[in-house]
Amino acid sequence: MPKNFKTFEEGVGLSFNNLDLLRQAFTHRSYLNEHRTLTHGHNERLEFLGDAVLELIVTRFLYEKFPEQDEGDLTAYRAALVNAVTLSAIAGSIGMDDYLLLSRGEAKDKGRARQMLLANALEALVGAIYLDQGYEAAQVFLEKRLFPKIDEIVQKGLWQDSKSSLQENAQETEGVTPSYKVMREWGPDHDKHFTVGVYIKERLVAEGEGKSKQEAEQAAAHKALAAKGW
Protein backbone atom coordinates (compact mmCIF):
# COMPACT_ATOMS: atom_id res chain seq x y z
CA MET A 1 0.00 0.00 0.00
CA PRO A 2 1.50 3.41 -0.96
CA LYS A 3 2.74 5.53 1.92
CA ASN A 4 1.03 8.91 2.36
CA PHE A 5 3.94 11.13 3.33
CA LYS A 6 1.68 14.17 3.50
CA THR A 7 0.09 12.54 6.53
CA PHE A 8 3.52 12.13 8.11
CA GLU A 9 4.34 15.79 7.41
CA GLU A 10 1.15 16.94 9.08
CA GLY A 11 1.77 14.73 12.09
CA VAL A 12 5.23 16.13 12.81
CA GLY A 13 4.68 19.70 11.66
CA LEU A 14 6.85 19.62 8.53
CA SER A 15 6.13 20.89 5.02
CA PHE A 16 8.62 19.82 2.35
CA ASN A 17 9.15 21.79 -0.84
CA ASN A 18 10.54 18.63 -2.46
CA LEU A 19 8.51 15.64 -1.31
CA ASP A 20 10.89 13.25 -3.07
CA LEU A 21 13.56 14.19 -0.51
CA LEU A 22 11.22 13.11 2.26
CA ARG A 23 10.45 9.82 0.51
CA GLN A 24 14.14 9.23 -0.03
CA ALA A 25 14.85 9.66 3.68
CA PHE A 26 12.59 6.66 4.35
CA THR A 27 13.84 4.49 1.48
CA HIS A 28 16.15 1.61 2.34
CA ARG A 29 18.54 0.37 -0.33
CA SER A 30 16.79 -3.01 -0.38
CA TYR A 31 13.46 -1.42 -1.37
CA LEU A 32 14.90 -0.15 -4.66
CA ASN A 33 15.88 -3.69 -5.63
CA GLU A 34 12.18 -4.59 -5.63
CA HIS A 35 10.96 -1.27 -7.11
CA ARG A 36 13.37 -0.43 -9.91
CA THR A 37 11.10 2.15 -11.55
CA LEU A 38 11.39 4.62 -8.66
CA THR A 39 13.09 7.88 -9.58
CA HIS A 40 14.41 8.79 -6.11
CA GLY A 41 17.39 7.05 -4.51
CA HIS A 42 17.89 5.29 -1.18
CA ASN A 43 18.64 7.12 2.06
CA GLU A 44 22.33 6.37 2.65
CA ARG A 45 23.65 9.66 1.23
CA LEU A 46 21.03 11.62 3.18
CA GLU A 47 22.01 9.70 6.30
CA PHE A 48 25.67 10.62 5.71
CA LEU A 49 24.72 14.30 5.47
CA GLY A 50 22.23 14.18 8.33
CA ASP A 51 24.79 12.63 10.66
CA ALA A 52 27.08 15.65 10.18
CA VAL A 53 24.23 18.17 10.52
CA LEU A 54 22.99 16.41 13.65
CA GLU A 55 26.43 16.40 15.25
CA LEU A 56 26.98 20.12 14.61
CA ILE A 57 23.57 21.19 15.90
CA VAL A 58 23.81 18.98 18.99
CA THR A 59 27.38 20.09 19.71
CA ARG A 60 26.39 23.76 19.66
CA PHE A 61 23.33 23.06 21.82
CA LEU A 62 25.42 21.29 24.47
CA TYR A 63 28.17 23.91 24.31
CA GLU A 64 25.64 26.64 25.12
CA LYS A 65 23.54 24.68 27.62
CA PHE A 66 26.45 23.49 29.78
CA PRO A 67 29.00 26.35 29.93
CA GLU A 68 30.75 24.84 32.96
CA GLN A 69 31.29 21.34 31.52
CA ASP A 70 34.61 20.32 29.97
CA GLU A 71 35.14 18.73 26.57
CA GLY A 72 35.13 15.20 27.93
CA ASP A 73 31.72 15.50 29.59
CA LEU A 74 30.24 17.29 26.57
CA THR A 75 31.50 14.51 24.31
CA ALA A 76 29.88 11.92 26.57
CA TYR A 77 26.60 13.89 26.64
CA ARG A 78 26.62 14.07 22.86
CA ALA A 79 27.31 10.35 22.46
CA ALA A 80 24.35 9.54 24.72
CA LEU A 81 22.11 11.97 22.84
CA VAL A 82 22.85 10.80 19.30
CA ASN A 83 23.32 7.05 19.77
CA ALA A 84 21.10 4.53 18.01
CA VAL A 85 18.95 3.86 21.08
CA THR A 86 17.98 7.51 21.54
CA LEU A 87 17.54 8.24 17.83
CA SER A 88 15.43 5.15 17.17
CA ALA A 89 13.22 5.99 20.16
CA ILE A 90 12.58 9.45 18.70
CA ALA A 91 11.92 7.98 15.26
CA GLY A 92 9.42 5.61 16.83
CA SER A 93 7.73 8.39 18.78
CA ILE A 94 6.94 10.34 15.60
CA GLY A 95 5.68 7.29 13.73
CA MET A 96 8.56 6.79 11.30
CA ASP A 97 8.29 3.01 11.55
CA ASP A 98 4.96 3.15 9.68
CA TYR A 99 6.56 4.91 6.71
CA LEU A 100 9.82 3.00 6.20
CA LEU A 101 10.20 1.74 2.64
CA LEU A 102 11.83 -1.68 3.03
CA SER A 103 12.14 -4.86 1.02
CA ARG A 104 9.90 -7.72 2.10
CA GLY A 105 12.88 -9.35 3.78
CA GLU A 106 13.98 -6.25 5.69
CA ALA A 107 10.39 -5.53 6.73
CA LYS A 108 10.35 -8.81 8.70
CA ASP A 109 13.31 -7.77 10.87
CA LYS A 110 12.39 -6.45 14.29
CA GLY A 111 14.29 -5.76 17.50
CA ARG A 112 17.83 -4.43 17.18
CA ALA A 113 17.88 -4.60 13.38
CA ARG A 114 14.78 -2.41 13.12
CA GLN A 115 16.21 -0.08 15.77
CA MET A 116 19.25 0.59 13.58
CA LEU A 117 17.08 1.17 10.49
CA LEU A 118 15.01 3.73 12.41
CA ALA A 119 18.08 5.54 13.75
CA ASN A 120 19.51 5.71 10.23
CA ALA A 121 16.22 6.97 8.83
CA LEU A 122 16.05 9.72 11.44
CA GLU A 123 19.53 10.91 10.46
CA ALA A 124 18.44 10.81 6.81
CA LEU A 125 15.35 12.86 7.71
CA VAL A 126 17.55 15.50 9.35
CA GLY A 127 19.65 15.58 6.18
CA ALA A 128 16.51 15.95 4.05
CA ILE A 129 15.19 18.81 6.19
CA TYR A 130 18.56 20.55 5.93
CA LEU A 131 18.65 20.26 2.13
CA ASP A 132 15.01 21.25 1.69
CA GLN A 133 14.73 24.07 4.22
CA GLY A 134 18.15 24.85 5.65
CA TYR A 135 20.07 24.67 8.92
CA GLU A 136 17.54 26.56 11.04
CA ALA A 137 14.68 24.22 10.09
CA ALA A 138 16.79 21.20 11.04
CA GLN A 139 17.66 22.90 14.31
CA VAL A 140 14.00 23.63 15.11
CA PHE A 141 13.10 19.99 14.43
CA LEU A 142 15.83 18.74 16.78
CA GLU A 143 15.03 21.33 19.45
CA LYS A 144 11.51 19.94 19.60
CA ARG A 145 12.25 16.23 19.28
CA LEU A 146 15.77 15.54 20.56
CA PHE A 147 16.97 18.26 22.93
CA PRO A 148 14.40 17.52 25.69
CA LYS A 149 16.07 14.11 26.15
CA ILE A 150 19.24 15.65 27.61
CA ASP A 151 17.77 16.39 31.04
CA GLU A 152 16.95 12.72 31.67
CA ILE A 153 20.34 11.66 30.28
CA VAL A 154 22.17 13.94 32.71
CA GLN A 155 19.93 13.32 35.72
CA LYS A 156 20.09 9.52 35.39
CA GLY A 157 23.79 9.45 34.55
CA LEU A 158 23.13 7.78 31.20
CA TRP A 159 26.06 9.70 29.74
CA GLN A 160 28.64 8.17 32.02
CA ASP A 161 31.42 5.98 30.70
CA SER A 162 30.00 2.48 31.07
CA LYS A 163 33.27 0.83 30.06
CA SER A 164 35.19 2.49 32.90
CA SER A 165 32.46 1.65 35.39
CA LEU A 166 32.38 -1.98 34.26
CA GLN A 167 36.15 -2.28 34.47
CA GLU A 168 36.22 -0.86 38.00
CA ASN A 169 33.47 -3.21 39.18
CA ALA A 170 34.95 -6.27 37.45
CA GLN A 171 38.42 -5.64 38.89
CA GLU A 172 37.08 -4.99 42.38
CA THR A 173 34.56 -7.85 42.43
CA GLU A 174 36.15 -10.54 40.28
CA GLY A 175 39.78 -9.47 39.97
CA VAL A 176 39.76 -9.34 36.17
CA THR A 177 39.56 -6.79 33.37
CA PRO A 178 36.67 -7.18 30.88
CA SER A 179 37.56 -7.87 27.26
CA TYR A 180 35.65 -6.94 24.10
CA LYS A 181 35.22 -8.80 20.84
CA VAL A 182 33.58 -7.72 17.59
CA MET A 183 30.89 -10.35 16.96
CA ARG A 184 29.59 -8.92 13.69
CA GLU A 185 30.04 -5.93 11.40
CA TRP A 186 28.02 -4.96 8.37
CA GLY A 187 27.17 -2.10 6.03
CA PRO A 188 29.15 -0.04 3.50
CA ASP A 189 32.33 1.76 4.54
CA HIS A 190 30.55 5.05 5.19
CA ASP A 191 27.84 3.38 7.28
CA LYS A 192 29.39 0.52 9.24
CA HIS A 193 27.54 -1.09 12.12
CA PHE A 194 29.06 -3.29 14.80
CA THR A 195 27.92 -5.85 17.36
CA VAL A 196 30.42 -6.22 20.19
CA GLY A 197 30.42 -8.76 23.00
CA VAL A 198 31.93 -8.08 26.43
CA TYR A 199 33.53 -10.96 28.33
CA ILE A 200 34.40 -11.39 31.99
CA LYS A 201 36.53 -14.42 32.82
CA GLU A 202 36.04 -15.61 29.22
CA ARG A 203 32.26 -15.67 29.70
CA LEU A 204 30.05 -13.58 27.41
CA VAL A 205 28.09 -11.23 29.64
CA ALA A 206 26.33 -8.96 27.14
CA GLU A 207 26.31 -7.67 23.57
CA GLY A 208 25.85 -4.14 22.26
CA GLU A 209 25.40 -2.49 18.89
CA GLY A 210 26.63 0.82 17.51
CA LYS A 211 27.79 2.75 14.47
CA SER A 212 31.37 2.48 15.68
CA LYS A 213 33.26 -0.12 17.69
CA GLN A 214 33.50 2.37 20.56
CA GLU A 215 29.76 2.98 20.63
CA ALA A 216 29.06 -0.75 20.48
CA GLU A 217 31.51 -1.38 23.33
CA GLN A 218 29.81 1.27 25.46
CA ALA A 219 26.41 -0.28 24.72
CA ALA A 220 27.71 -3.73 25.65
CA ALA A 221 29.25 -2.42 28.87
CA HIS A 222 26.02 -0.64 29.79
CA LYS A 223 24.06 -3.89 29.37
CA ALA A 224 26.71 -5.85 31.26
CA LEU A 225 26.43 -3.49 34.25
CA ALA A 226 22.69 -4.17 34.35
CA ALA A 227 23.19 -7.92 33.88
CA LYS A 228 25.67 -8.06 36.76
CA GLY A 229 23.62 -5.78 39.00
CA TRP A 230 26.46 -3.26 39.26
The catalytic site residues sit at 51, 123
Give exposure, 184-197, as e/b (b: 16+ Cβ within 10 Å). Answer: eeeeeeebebbbbb
Give residue 204's Cα distance to chain centre. 24
N residues, the chain: 230
Phi/psi of residue 117, nearest 5 degrees: -60, -40
Phi, psi of 228 (to 5 degrees): -90, -5
**Whole-number Å distance between alpha carbons of 45 and 187:** 13
In degrees and rounded to multiples of 5, residue 156 shows phi and psi of -90, 0
Cα-to-chain-centroid distance, residue 170: 28
Q: What are phi and psi of 81, to 5 degrees?
A: -80, -30
Q: Does 47 carry a binding-site annotation?
A: yes
Point out the annotated binding site for Mg(2+): 47, 120, 123
Annotated binding site: 47, 120, 123
